[in-house]
Structures are given as structure tokens and as C-alpha cells.
Structure 1
Amino acid sequence: MDLQLAGKAAVVTGGSKGVGLAVVRTLLDEGMRVVAASRTVTPELAATAAIPVTVDLGTATGAAELVERARAALGGIDVLVNNVGIGDRAPHVDGAVLDLAALPDTAWEQTFALTFYAPLRVTRAALPSLVERGGVVVNVSSSGARVVTAGPVPYNVAKAALNALTKVVAEQYGARGVRAVTVAPGPVATAVWTDPDGFIGQLAKVQGLEYSQFAAQAQEALGAATGRISTPEEVARLVAVAASPSNVTGAEFAIDGGIVKHV
């Protein structure tokens, strides 16, 4: 199926690994020109045809810098994929094991800086180009936004705010030709889950459990109807569909294997 993306220009944040890298590869395969933003350029990203832009989106100035460099490289922006959002593992581990009274402001601040404020700022900076081109914003959220108490709480709350941001952009800019869509994965088979030093591995250490045993228990506890977690490539394909021309806006597409069970 032709997604009608060939020749268009995209910016993908957090594009050096995991879901972001899979999105970069998928959009390139669709014939798009892609700027991939990340703090570092991994060998895997360098091996693609994407234009890498090293930038720290956790800072107040990072978003404007990224959009300026992306517009210079691409001429404009048709698709913005706000994928960045994990960053340092420490606040996420704290957010999963500490209750509200014990969770310091720093855990909230660090999480919101990357998970909510970075997408907000990049979207705001990109809006003139998106309006000019009738573009689309795809916010990569999380099933955690629907089950916030499952933890890590600051991350899930920030993703819930990101879902709301999608609605705001869709409502305020729809008449000017801009769409906004949320893609909400459950756990994905990236280093967050598969690396013993990743988030799940760090949780296992905190609880004094062996990584593989804890990871298996955690996956089973999720209760996915499919019995597995998603792959980065599966999420990336859904992002590409969401980015393709349509009359869909303000909507949320879940790809969680059936973890979120309520209507």
C-alpha cells in the first residue's frame, strides 16, 4: 500500500535507537527525507540515510535549535514524530518503586523535561512549517498513560499530558491543515526491556531478583492478550500509517497487545 509519504520531510526525535530508530528506517523506506534528532549518533543511525542532528531536547533551547537545523536541511517539515522520552533511567526506577510522598521533585522535573516539555517545545517550534505544509504531528505516548498507577508514575503522568497535547494541537490547528495523532505502545522489545542494564534490569536489581526471571514475571503480569510485547518495527509501521494523509486527527492508536482492557 502506498502511504503517500514519498518525497516528504520528517523530523524524528529520539531517533538513534529503539522505537525512534525503527521509525527513522521505516520513513526512509517510504521514500521520506528524515532528520533524526538525538543526543548521540549511534552506529546504527549513522548507517541509515537520515540526517543526524545531535541536540539535547531536555534543555529549553534544544527544540528551537533542532527545528532550525531541520528546516535548513530539509526546507520544511511535513511530519514531526515526537518520540523522545526515556533518557536517564534513574528517575523512572524511582518512579516505579517510591510512593508519592517519597518521590522527589527532581524525578518529576527530569521526566517531564524530556517526556512532555520536549515534545511541546519541538511542536511549537515546528508549527509554522507544519501549517505551511499541512503537516502532521505524531506523538509517541505509552499505554502507561491509561494505567498511570502501574508506574513509573511520573513517566505515565507525563505521557497522559502528552495525550492531552495531541488533542490541543488537533483542535487549535485543524482548521489550518495540521493534524495530530497519538501512537500509544505498550512495552516494546528495546533495551528498556531486553538489556539487563536497562529499566527492567535496574528494577530487578532494586528488588534483589535475577534479571531474566524478573523480566518474565513482569511480562506475564502485564496480561497482554497476545502473550508478548511489541517489536520496534511494529510500532514504527503504525507511526507511518498515522503520518500518512487522512482525515484522522486527535485520535489515539494503541499497540499494546491488549494490555489496556478498559473501553
Structure 2
Amino acid sequence: MENLALTTLMLPFIGALVVFVFATTSGRRMGVLFAALTTLCMLSLISAFYQADKVAVTLTLVNVGDVALFGLVIDRVSTLILFVVVFLGLLVTIYSTGYLTDKNREHPHNGTNRYYAFLLLFIGAMAGLVLSSTLLGQLLFFEITGGCSWALISYYQSDKAQRSALKALLITHIGSLGLYLAAATLFLQTGTFVLSAMSELHGDARYLVYGGILFAAWGKSAQLPMQAWLPDAMEAPTPISAYLHAASMVKVGGWHWRAASPTSSTTRSLKACFSL
């Protein structure tokens, strides 16, 4: 199961490298191929998890001493969201091959390798964010999704598209500052970045960590007053706009909201404040 999880995570990144560096005229075919392979690995991972009949499976990837920096967690919720982000990523990749052509009436343009490379990176970053067992890992993939959204929103290279992409990058990056605060506070208080350690927090530290996570969710999910980037993000190619709404950027916020699951009346009150 651990090998399947790693393969599901790494395939989109390997595919992006292959498409961007090595592919010449076959970028769209390679994009679909790697998206399909990732989907097959994802389905195999989900099947293996449910057959194992476990509550959760945790895998540590990088650690320094006793401190886990990056790891994966496979449970019922993460597998559900993983299915959504990877499978819809495949559908978007397939649809893109028919949308990005010179026969498109509004945007007659054949999709470049750059488009499919960043789309695969997007899928991989979303998979990594969903499976990450540490705040540091979530922060890494959080930032990668921001970079991919910038590259894809500005894909047509028009002045408006570039301004819209920069706006999305800046506003969502402001939200990511909450994750930096949360990760630093969690480590200083518990000596670890593992998400499960948040249940050990007390007092002001609890507010800082949960508040930071919810602030990051606020920015990615385009909640007031950080919603300004979302309408302009429609400058992206239509398949990307669909993926942003259906399974990626906006859903990142929801996933971080889930990570800040209430463990006491204090955190429930904090989440209620952020939902107003």
C-alpha cells in the first residue's frame, strides 16, 4: 500500500518533467497517459486500503531525528478526496485535448507542452496535499498549487490573464502565511509537524494553529474579503477554470478546514468565528 501511495504521488510530477523536458509534439498524449496512470494507481491504492480494513495507514517519508518533516496518511476521508482530485484531473486532461485546438472559435490555440506539464503538476500537488500527514508537507503542496494556478491562469499570456494570475498568486499566498504561522507554532509547542499533534495544543497556541490553518483556507476558498482573485481566474483556459472550482484551488481551502477539525469547544468557537 505504501508503494502505491508513493507511486500515485510521484507519477504526476514525473509526467510533468517528461512532458516539459522530453516531449516535443506529443505533449497532449503524454499528459493523458500520465494522468491515466495516476488514476489507475489511485484506484489501486483505495482498493488496497479498504481491503486492509484499517482505520488509517501512516508513512513517514522524510524525518530529521525524531521529527517527521514529510509523510503520508491514508484514511477514509483522504482516499475520498484523493479520488475526486485525481479522477477529475484525468477528465480535465482528456477534455483539454479537444478544447485546446486551432478549431476552438474563441481561443484557436493548440495546447503546448507547458500547459500539460503544469496541469500534471497541479494534479500531483493536490494529491500530495490531500495525503500529507504533516503541516510542513501541506504547506509545500499548498505553495505548489499556487504556482501552478499562476502559470495556468496566465496561460494565454494576455495582459488581463497575467494580471489575473498575479492577483490569484498574491492573495492566496497571503493566506499561506497562516500555514507558516500554524506550522511554526505547532513545532514550538509539540516538537513535531504531524497533524495529529494538534490535539495536544492548549491555550493561545491552539488559537494560533487553528486560526492559521483557517486563514489559509479562507484565502484558497476565496472567502470574504479574499475572494477577489476568483472571478478573474476565469481568464484561464476553460478546462483549468473547471478544475480550479471543482477539485483544486477552492477545494484546498475546504481540505484545510477539515484538517482543523474541532477537538474542543475552543476550536469549535474559533471555526464558528471564521465561518461568519
TM-score under structure 1 length normalisation? 0.30
Greater strand percent: which structure? 1
TM-score by length of 2: 0.29
Quick check: which has more Rg, 1 or 2? 2
More helix by share: 2
